[in-house]
Each structure stands twice: as structure tokens, then as C-alpha cells.
Chain A
Amino acid sequence: MKKISKQFIAALVVIMLSHTMAMASSHREAPLISNDPLADNTDVYAFRSPCDSNNVVLIANYIPFEHPAGGPNWYTFGENIRYEIHVDNNSATTGDDIIYRFTFQQVDEDNSTFFNIRLGKENLKTTYTLERSINGGTSYTVIVSNGVVPPPNIGPRSITNATVGLGASDYNSLMMAAVSTASTGEKVFCGPVDDPFFVDLGGAFDLGGFRTNGVDGLEKFNCHSIMVEVPISTLQKDGKNTTQAANILDGDFVIGVYASASRPEITTLSTEGGKSTFSGDWIQVSRLGMPLTNEAVIPVGFKDKWNGTLPSDDLQFAKYFSNPELALYMDDSQFGGAVPGLSALRIQSNSLGAFDFRNGKKGLWDLKGTAAVAGTALDDAIFGTILLPDDKSPRAVDILPIFYTGVPNLRPYQLATGKGGDPLAAGKPFINNFLPTLGDYLRLNMAVPVTPRNSPDFNSLGIVQAAVLGLTDPRFNGDASLQFIPNMDGFPNGRRLEDDVTTIELQAVGGVALAAIGLWYDDFEPGVSPSPVTQDLLNVLTFQAGVTQNDTAFKPCFPYQQTPWAGFTGEGYVGPRSTDPLPLTWIGFQAERSGKDVLLNWEIANSQNNLRYEVEHSLDGSRYSRLGNVQADDDNTSKYRYIHSGASPAVANFYRIKQVDKDGKFSFSPVRIVKFNPVAGITVSPNPASNFINVFSAEKNISVSLVDGAGRRMAITKLESGNGQINISALPRGIYTVVAENTKTIIGTWRILKQ
């Protein structure tokens, strides 16, 4: 412990000093990732599984605002992107301890349609490879290959209809079939899901226009999710499972998680609408550990840089946590008066008659080096240099550790319960996700038991609710002993899908964590107020950011997230049928060569009132003459055949069948054309061609030449055996004429397209 702290105290001091300067050197760039949705990491979750407490679930979501009906090219994971989940379980090692890297490939099963799914075929069909590194990224092992990504949930015709679509029993079956198990034991799913996040975007970003009845800006949008459910023994640094944990806050069971997306440094667009090509190093373009860091903590001038930074270089951003912008809107001496949506949140300016935590104020600085903090986390011998760096970094004592180190189970970071009014005294433990890497990670203590999702105590306020129970509920507030308080497994100790992180973070900026450990709100007067649970505290606890739950339920077990919203729901419309005065239906009519003859076959449905078929022939497609009659059957066969003998040598033969009813009405079949090549058996292929054209001829000793659009002869070859090849790979693209000649005359010409 001491060793670690000394290492980064030095670093911290240097970086914090340099940061006052860095503020001035703002580079002015557009927030890049908002223009690259495929690589945009939207949320990360990490929680102990409510379905199997031996496992921890890690989720990274990408591609925001996916319109469920966003066709014809529905969203899917991008090729040439490395999607990664990073796990740190040991603050003594540098870099990641475990990395899961996902890469995706797409194929078109039928590129002749504009539909995404048609006739059982799927376009942009995506599969993935999962690799894992357990040595900080030095080497990777493939643990899933050809993993299946389910298709977009387009609608019933695409998904369940067996004639025109995939014929699945339902979408969920596609989703469950896509769950795979890695060779190393992890359960894995990649695919579209309902976006589990919920937030009043319209309120939040209209200058903090939070409202009680907010609108979920992510309502009925999907995202693409990468999920792994991992045995705790795989994630714990010594391979232990939770039965081997010393207690429910065992510090050896803390992991830090973040996700990222990286792209190759150089993208070169095709000049012809083909795929881009990629080269160079991989550049991290998106990352996410703690929710909302880059939305609502990092200012716009640094957002792109934050995305490109590794958590190990995060100290440059520490000042946005130790004096957060959001705090300005909860402080009447700053812009507090101008943001009525946050009026319930007022940071302590005079806690216990002594401490001011507003931006730029001293916070607990006056305690620095005093005997009172000896033995607490605030002691310079422990973490005082981080937590009390100077006299104007008030939130280095609460917001910074929540985001950058996790919160240790050390004085003063225990609930006021049992403290006897002294915030620095030992109190009731409620969190220990301390992993002091000084970077933005979602930190989870895996030893903390799971709050059942159906428990009446389950609450989306996470640790805030655990604190409330530990302070006020007689089941938990009797003494300072360590016991499981429901929701100790909630944000910011990891993050469950249900956790209302927007509210929790705003409450945290509003000083709720300080209050929980006994640094009460301004309206609590020690020795006078009957209870520290004052109106100011109640205001904070009853504040909510506008939307408190997702717009749909979650699944009880893996993959936990909900089936993606379907683009089309409800019954299909059936249009009025066109009437056809002709009763019969032409099911098929084929005409094919057979030597010098032509065979005509046709099939009829709904054959009623049908007298005969007249077979008609034309040499020009315009004037037809009758070849003969075929009497209509009334039985069920309804299949007919006619042979036109001696159809050759006419080059083009047009056929149609005139169907005549008993009442004299008639109709025509489609027209079929049969061609006899006047050039005896010469074929030229392929067309279009790229490299070679092959010429096959029944006649020997002919010469074949290639003429360009300007009449120039570009190649010539003699076919002595009747077969030959012309190399056209060096010719410019365009149209060419192939001319075949025997000794006397030109016997045929063909147009071919060189691609």
C-alpha cells in the first residue's frame, strides 16, 4: 500500500502543477466520435450476476441512437475496428491485466437485393472473433471464432416469415442461439439490444434543464452490445472465487473495467466506391469507464483528447473532478441561481460549521497534517497527498476518488453510523472498491453480494441507497459492524443495468457522499439539529434527474439486456387484389432449344372454362402466326408441351401461347425468345471480363481479334484447335468488340465489357 502511494504521489504533484498551464493550451477540435457512430462506446456495465453469483457480467455498448426502423442498411458492428473490454485487477501491474478484443467481419449473402433480409438470406451478416490477452496486450489467444451476431430485428416478414424472411420462431430464438461459450469458459454475446441507458437528454443538455417528468431521450432506441459473463476466479488476481474472500469488502476482489474502440491510423477511401483500405497503428478513438465522464465532466475542449487517452494518463483531467463544472450549477455564488433544474442540490458551504466544498474552496484542507487525520486515508502517510493536494481542490476528497481510485474502506470513508458525530471516526463500512490506479475505471468489488432484483430493497440509487439504509434503517444503523446492506453492489461499486447513474452522479456532485460520511449539509447544526437527516439532505435524496428507469424490462439471466426493438410491429396490411378478367394463371412457360427444335412447356392454375391453347410463333416479335393447337384438359395435370420442329436456322424465335376460353375470350402468355446462334457454336466468355476472354468454337482455324471503340485492333489470336484465350488484363477498361473471322469472311462479332 505504501509503495503504491509513494509512486503516484510524485506523479500527481508534478501533473497537478502542470495542469494549471494545460488549461490555457486548449486545442479546438470537433468532438470526433459523435461523427463515428460505429466506434462510439456508449456505456459500460459491470456487476455480479444475479443469476449465478460465481460470475461477473461485463457489458460494453456501442453505436448510439439506433433507429429500430433505420433501414435499408441497418446498424451493425464495424469492420476494421477493435472493440475492447479492459480489466485491471492489480494496481501493482502496469496496464491491463485482462483484455477482451472483439473484431467483426461482414458478408452479403445476396447482394442482388436492396433488402437486408430476403428469402432466407441476410446481407451485412456479421460474425466475430474474440481474442483474450492476459499479459497486458503482449499476446492474444483466440477464444471464440465465427461468433454469430444476430440480424437486426427488422420485423415479422424479415425475421419469422419462412417464405420471404429467415423463418425463425421468434427474434429471441436468434438472440439466444447467438450466445456462445469461449474456449476459456466465458459466456459471450454480441448483437443489437434495447439501449438499457435512460436519461433526459433534452432536459440535461439544455443548460441543465432537469425536470421531474423528464423524457427518456434513448427511449425505443437500440444499440450494439458486447457482453461477457466471466467466472470471478478468472477475474480475481489470484484466481480466487468469492468463497475464498476474507469478507464482503475484501480489497483483493476489486476490478477496474473500461471499454474502448480503436481504428487504424490511416483510412484511404477507394476512388471507385469500393471498400476503404486501412494502415498504420491502432488509435483509440473512444473509451468509457465511469458513466457520463466525457458527457458531463470533461469540457468540450478536451473531450476528443479524453477519448484518445489511456486511463494511465488520466491525471491531466483530474482538475475537472476536483473542481467539477457541474458544481458551478449547485453553488449560489456561481451559476446556481441560473439553473433552477438543480435547485434541490446545494453543495455544503459550511458543513459542521467549518467546511466549504464549493469549487475553489478549501474543503477539508484545514485538516491537512493535523493529528485528527492521523491514521485516516487523509493522512499524508496514506493518501493525503492525493485527497488533500492543495487548498482549492475541495472535491479531491470525494469526486476524484470515486472516479479515479475507487473508495477505500478506511476512515473517513465509512458511514456516519457509529461515528458519534466525528466524521473522521470509524463508522459503518459500506464500500471498498479501492484500486488506486489514478485513472477513470468502473470499479467493482466482486466480493460484495448481489441484491436480488426482486427484493423490495432493490433500488436504482445503488450505493446512495445503501448509505441511506445504513444511516436510517434499524436493520442496519445499530452499530458500525460490517454487514451486507442492500445495493452495496450498485453504482459506483460497479454498475448494474438498473442503476440511475445520472441521478447518483448529480447527487454525488451535490455532496451526498460527504453527507453520508458525516459531513452534513449546511442546515445541520451539531448539537442543535435533532437529526442530521435535514431538509437539505432530503432535497438531495429526493432529487432525480428526470428518468429513473429504462423503458423496458431486463432479462433475468444472460444476456440480461432486452431484445432489440422491432422496426415493424403489428399485423401486416393486405392490399386489394387486382382483378384479372382472365381466370387462369400462368405458373410457368419455358421455351428451350433441343437440337434444331424448340420445346415449349407451360403450366396453368385455375384452369376453368378453358377451351384450347394456340401456340404462336414470330420471327420479329411483332407479327405472330399460329403453329398449332393444344386442347385444354380439365383434370389436375394442367401441364402442357409442344414441340416446334425445325425452328432453326431462324436466329430469333418468339413464342407465345394464346389461351382461348369456351366463351371466346382469350389471353396471352408471356413471350419467350429462343435464339440459334448463326455462328456455329462460338461462345465468348466471360462478359464482363477482367483478365482473359475465352473463345470456344466448333469451327477450327478461325482468327479472333479484339477491337477497341476507336476501331483499333488491340489483340489477335488464331484458334487452330477451336479454343483459345485473349489476355486483356493490360487493356484500359471499356467496351471492346470481339471479331471472329474464317478465311473468307467475318463470322461473328460480340461486344464485351472490360472491367
Chain B
Amino acid sequence: MQKIKHFLRKVLGLCLLVLSAQIQANASSHREAPLISNDPLADNTDVYAFRSPDNPELITIIANYIPFQLPEGGPNYYNFGEGIRYEIHIKNNPATAADDITYRFTFKLVLEDSTTFFNIRLGKQNLKATYTCEKSTNGGASFTTILTSGMVPPANIGPRSIEGGAGLNTDYNTLMTNAIAQATSGEKIFCGPVDDPFFVDLAGAFDVGNFRPEGNTINPTKDGLARFNVHTIAMQIPISLLQKDGKTGAMATNILDGDYVIGVWASASRQQVKTLSSGSEGFTGQWIQVSRLGMPLTNEAVIPLGMKDKWNATSPYNNEDLAFAPFFINPELALYMDDSQFGEAVPSMYSLRIQKHALNAFDFRNGMPGLFPLKGSPALDGTALSEANFGSILLPNATSPRAVDLLPIFYTGVPNLRPYQLATGKAGDPLAAGKPFINNFLPTLGDMLRLNMSTPATPRNSPDFSSLGIVQAAVLGLTDARFNGDATLQFIPNMDGFPNGRRLEDDVTTIELQAVSGVALAAIGLWYDDYDPNSSPSPVTQNLLNVLSFSAGPTKNDTTFKSAFPYVQTPWRGFDYTKQPRF
């Protein structure tokens, strides 16, 4: 903690400066086309990180690339690109300046029979991909090869290509299983096409917020990614390789041990100069990051268009992400949950309304003071909001209301400190000590998916398992008699869910929309407007129920997941997959 504080002191000063400067920076718009949408091979679509449900000592990290792969998209089916560095970055120590672990994947393609236009014929496969995985544990200064000639399974074209005698004469799951490899340093690795595990009603989300919650009777929701494949890089890594001191999961002091937090993000980089000639291309120059992803939906629904390309090229380290902090402390999405802004114009989100007078005092709408009126008050002493702790980040000024909740969720992780504990046990004072429910604090001030590896995994077949992740853990901790008796630390199901890491099942779109509408604030006792501390019988008011029962669209993937590594599902088969409307 002492070290963290020292580190923080370094960044605090800078943070303050940048936060105040950024209110202006908003206006300096540079007008660019979103580059990565035109470079699908390098387009990082999702990152997942979760404690493996079938082995508590293993963490699974998944980075997906190449969106919207039509299963029958031949004759040249999708594949990883040559000339691209696909990387998974891991931070386990905020005191170091760069990656603590970097995994770098590079791919090679060969044609086994260039005389046919078919991808697979007579046992031969064209555009057959293999890969090399290198690992760095010194911030990228040097890399060691930990896997060579890794196999990427072919596209799941159809029965003639895979099982047929004129094809590969095998079956697809054998190809997939055989492609799981063991790195020399102990990681298990799979690279290849899989069902895209993400689910979202794309048209609902992006038709100016035309969300269709699951189960609504007006207009059934559509999973815009149904029946599409992606290319995945999946790794299963022992906790002892990820924990900064080499400790195993069993050695954690408790289930929220702050020494077990990792930050994960993925990227794709290309060389700076591409030279075309007739029928071929070549690459030279330094490597340029063209895509990155840590927290889901950051660059879809938080960063505005004018900054999206820049976001992709930026590192989450060295405070570079602070340039984007204004979009978290006053998020665009919040405008649509605020009747004094555009709230009235977005009917699908009527049930999401940000607190404008929580506890008759606090207004968290964009531009409002939030908890700033408490700044410097003795009531904050000993909380994360005090100036001695993190007040300069969390309460920077009177117009940054969400620096207190959304900014830490995306940029630092949430500490197990007052007021970031459930209202259970707080006796009505949000600043009092309450029931711990999360600690993924890794204060690097950058966008990463942060996972506390010491938090146990919720079994996927448990009746308590929920795709609402931490939101559901909070609901149980506030309302379920098994967990809401007192403020003691205990495992609440789904404490291992988003935003504490991200499981394949987690409905991150819904969770993030709920978070923007203030559900995390409510969880810690800053209740919705229809709760009157003097007269309301329960803080679980209709407004809170509205938020909790909102869903952004589909709440689960269009197929199941595997029960063991790589967990993601076999890719849809081009020849005969069953269709499902995508829009």
C-alpha cells in the first residue's frame, strides 16, 4: 500500500493537471475515419480474463480478432494475418512502467496446393496458418520463443472439406483439440476460429439507442453477432506465473487479496509502411499499434468518433489514457439517461435514470458536482475519497461527477476501501464501512480489464451463476439472506464476474449501461431518487428495480461454451449452420 501511495503521488499531480486541461481538449477535434474498421485482420474485438471454472490455479485469457466472419465466407476464408503482431499484455505491478508480461503471436500462411480455387482439397489446405508465440517479462525489452509451429485449425467449411475423403478426412473437434499446445514456459495455448462469444443487439444499440431488452413483447431483440465466427487467441496460465511474486492461488490471504490483481489488454500492431506491387504487398518500418482493447465497449460506446483512432494507437501506460478521462467522468451515454439532457429522446432507456438527488443531496448527472460537495470534509477521512488517499483522482472538481465510479471502474479498478463497499452494514451512511464485494485495484490510470485472481470462480452450473457479474454479486450482498446479514467479507457468487475480469458469459453491455446509470453508486448506498432516507421503507426502490431489470438486448451467447479450455465454442460450420436473424 505504501508503494502504491508513493506511485500515486507521482501521478496525482499530473492527473489533476490533465483533468483540468481536458475540459478544453474536448474542443480540439481532429476528424478522422475510424481506421481499424477497414482492417479486419487486425481488429481486436474482445478480451476476456477469468479464473478457470475447472481449475482454481489457472487463469484463462482470451483475445479475439476479425469480426463478422461469415461461416461460409469462402473461397478465401478468414485467417490471422501475416505481418501483424497480435499481443496480450499483462500488468501485475503498478510500480513498474510497462508490461510485466507480454505474449506476442505471429502467424505464417502457406498454400499446400495452389492449383485449386478450393481452400481444402484432397487432404491439402491452402492459407494454412501456423504461429510462433514469444514471451517477454521485462516490458518488451527482450522476447523468448515459448512455442513454435503452433497449428491453427482450418475454417470449418463443411462436411466435404473436413470429414470427406476428398477433404481432410477427419472431424472438426479433433482438429481443434489437436491444435491446443503447451508452451515451454507452462501456458496452454489455442489459436483458431471459434464462434464469436460476444452478443449484442448492434442495431438496437447504434440506432441512436434503440435498445430492445430481452423478453420485451414489442420487438424481439436480435444478437447482431449470432452465427458469426472470430479468430481467437486463448491462453490458460497458472496463477503463479501471473502473480507478481510468483504466488499460487492457494497462497492468497483472502478472496480479495490486493496482490493478486492483474490488468489485461490486447493489441494488434502493423509495420508502418506498406508497399503494394501488382499482386503482392510488403511491409517495413517500425511497429505501430493499430488496435487495442482492455475493457469492453470503451472504444465503441465511450470514446467519441473523433478520438477513436487515436485511442486505438494509445498505450494505457505512462498516463497516456488520461487524455480520454473526460469521456468517463462525463460519459456521452449519461446524456441519454438524464431528462435535462437527451433522456427524453431515448425511450428505450427510460428505465435508466442517473441519480440527480441521491440521499436528497447528490447529483451525478453530467456536469454536476456528484460527491464534490464532500471534498475535504472530515467525513471523508479514511475513505478512498480523502485527499490523503485518492481524492484528487476521484473528486477532481465540481463538474466531474463520474470520476467517483466510472473512472475507477475503467482506469484503476475498484479498491476494497470505504466507500467502495456494499451498503450492507453501513446503516444508511454510504461513507461507512460496508460489506466488501470487489477489489481489483491496480492504479495505473489506464484502460485495462482488471481481475483479482484470488476471487473464487462461480461454478457455471450453480443456480447463483449470473451473467450480470458484480452487479448480481451486489444484489445478492444487499438482498439475499445468505449474504446481507453483516459486513464481513465472504464469497458472494459472481464476485468473479465483470468488471472483476470478464467471463465469456458476462453481459457486459447491460452491466456497463447499468453502471453508467449509477448502479454502482446505488450499491454502495447512494440510492436512486425515489428513495427518501426519512420515509422510504427500503432502498430497493422501483427505480433501482427498473435499472436491475433492464437488459441491453440478448443476455447470452447464441450457443453454449465448452466446459474446458479453450471454453469458446467450435466455429459455426459454413455448409449447414442454422440461421438466426442478426438484425
Q: Contacts A305-B278, A579-B542 known; A35 to B40 CB distance under 8 Å?
A: yes
- A567 near B357 (CB under 8 angstroms)? no
- A72 near B21 (CB under 8 angstroms)? no
- B279 near A201 (CB under 8 angstroms)? no
B 47-83 binary contact with A (CB < 8 Å = 1; else 0):
0000000000000000000001011111110110110
Partner of A668, one of B117, B357, B528, B583: B357
Partner of A670, one of B39, B332, B346, B368: B368
Nearest chain A residue, comparing its CB with the CB of B78: A34
Min CB gap A588→B, angstroms: 8
Partner of A573, one of B18, B21, B35, B216: B216
- A207 near B310 (CB under 8 angstroms)? no
Partner of B398, one of A570, A571, A673: A673
A 43-73 binary contact with B (CB < 8 Å = 1; else 0):
0000000000000000000000101111111
| Whole-angstrom CA separation of A31 from B74 in the bound complex | 11
Interface size, chain A (Cβ < 8 Å) = 139
Min CB gap B285→A, angstroms: 8
Nearest chain A residue, comparing its CB with the CB of B276: A283
Q: Is B250 an interface residue (CB 8 A)?
A: no
Partner of A69, one of B29, B206, B357: B206
- B166 near A335 (CB under 8 angstroms)? yes
Partner of A114, one of B332, B342, B528: B332
B 261-280 binary contact with A (CB < 8 Å = 1; else 0):
00000000010111111111
Partner of B160, one of A78, A206, A275: A206
Where chain A touches its partner, the secondary structure class is loop
Q: Is A751 an interface residue (CB 8 A)?
A: yes
Q: Is A113 an interface residue (CB 8 A)?
A: yes
Q: Is A203 an interface residue (CB 8 A)?
A: yes
Partner of B575, one of A203, A275, A621: A203
Q: Is B245 an interface residue (CB 8 A)?
A: no
Q: Is A260 an interface residue (CB 8 A)?
A: no
- B346 near A164 (CB under 8 angstroms)? yes
CB-CB < 8 A to B17: which residues of A? Answer: 735, 751, 753
Min CB gap B438→A, angstroms: 26
> Looking at the complex, which of A153-161, A351-359, A401-409, A549-557 is the stretch in contact with chain B?
A153-161
- B278 near A309 (CB under 8 angstroms)? yes
Q: Contacts A157-B209, A272-B310, A300-B117 known; A621 to B373 CB distance under 8 Å?
A: yes
| Whole-angstrom CA separation of A111 from B305 in the bound complex | 5
- B305 near A31 (CB under 8 angstroms)? no
Q: Is A118 an interface residue (CB 8 A)?
A: yes
CB-CB < 8 A to A274: which residues of B? Answer: 30, 32, 309-310
Partner of A575, one of B109, B158, B312, B351: B351
- A71 near B205 (CB under 8 angstroms)? yes
| Whole-angstrom CA separation of A579 from B224 in the bound complex | 32
- A73 near B37 (CB under 8 angstroms)? yes
| Whole-angstrom CA separation of A588 from B367 in the bound complex | 14
| Whole-angstrom CA separation of A305 from B278 in the bound complex | 7
- B278 near A284 (CB under 8 angstroms)? yes
- B203 near A568 (CB under 8 angstroms)? yes
Min CB gap B170→A, angstroms: 14
Partner of B127, one of A31, A108, A666: A31
- B304 near A268 (CB under 8 angstroms)? no
Q: Is B204 an interface residue (CB 8 A)?
A: yes
| Whole-angstrom CA separation of A335 from B18 in the bound complex | 68
Q: Contacts A111-B304, A301-B111 known; A565 to B21 CB distance under 8 Å?
A: no
Tell me which of B202, B310, B530 has the highest count of chain A C-beta atoms within 10 A of its own C-beta.
Answer: B202
- A735 near B18 (CB under 8 angstroms)? yes
CB-CB < 8 A to B144: which residues of A? Answer: none
Min CB gap B574→A, angstroms: 4
Q: Is A671 an interface residue (CB 8 A)?
A: yes
8 Å CB interface, B68-109 against A? 68, 70-76, 78-79, 81-82, 109
Min CB gap A397→B, angstroms: 23
- B72 near A37 (CB under 8 angstroms)? no
- B340 near A578 (CB under 8 angstroms)? no
Partner of B117, one of A78, A112, A297: A297
- B114 near A299 (CB under 8 angstroms)? yes
Min CB gap B77→A, angstroms: 8
Q: Contacts A205-B157, A567-B203, A654-B398 known; A114 to B529 CB distance under 8 Å?
A: no
Q: Is B142 an interface residue (CB 8 A)?
A: no
| Whole-angstrom CA separation of A79 from B31 in the bound complex | 13
CB-CB < 8 A to B347: which residues of A? Answer: 572-575
Q: Is A230 an interface residue (CB 8 A)?
A: no
| Whole-angstrom CA separation of A280 from B213 in the bound complex | 51
8 Å CB interface, A566-605 against B? 566-582, 585-588
| Whole-angstrom CA separation of A586 from B363 in the bound complex | 13
CB-CB < 8 A to B211: which residues of A? Answer: 573, 575
> Looking at the complex, which of A7-15, A21-29, A426-434, A435-443 is the stretch in contact with chain B?
A21-29
Q: Give 9 new A-B contacts, CB below 8 A, not counting A202-B575, A305-B278.
A: A69-B222, A114-B301, A205-B118, A207-B167, A268-B274, A309-B279, A568-B210, A620-B376, A670-B363
Q: Which 3 A-B pairs have the closest CB atoms?
A: A301-B114, A111-B306, A273-B313
7 A-B pairs in the complex with CB atoms less than 8 angstroms apart: A164-B209, A202-B577, A271-B288, A567-B202, A570-B219, A573-B212, A668-B361
A contact set with B: CB distance below 8 Å: 23, 26-32, 34-38, 65, 67-73, 75, 78-79, 106-108, 110-118, 123-124, 154-158, 161, 163-165, 201-209, 215, 217, 220, 263-276, 280, 283-285, 295-309, 325, 335, 338-339, 565-582, 585-588, 618, 620-622, 652, 654, 666-668, 670-671, 673, 686-688, 709, 735, 751-753, 755
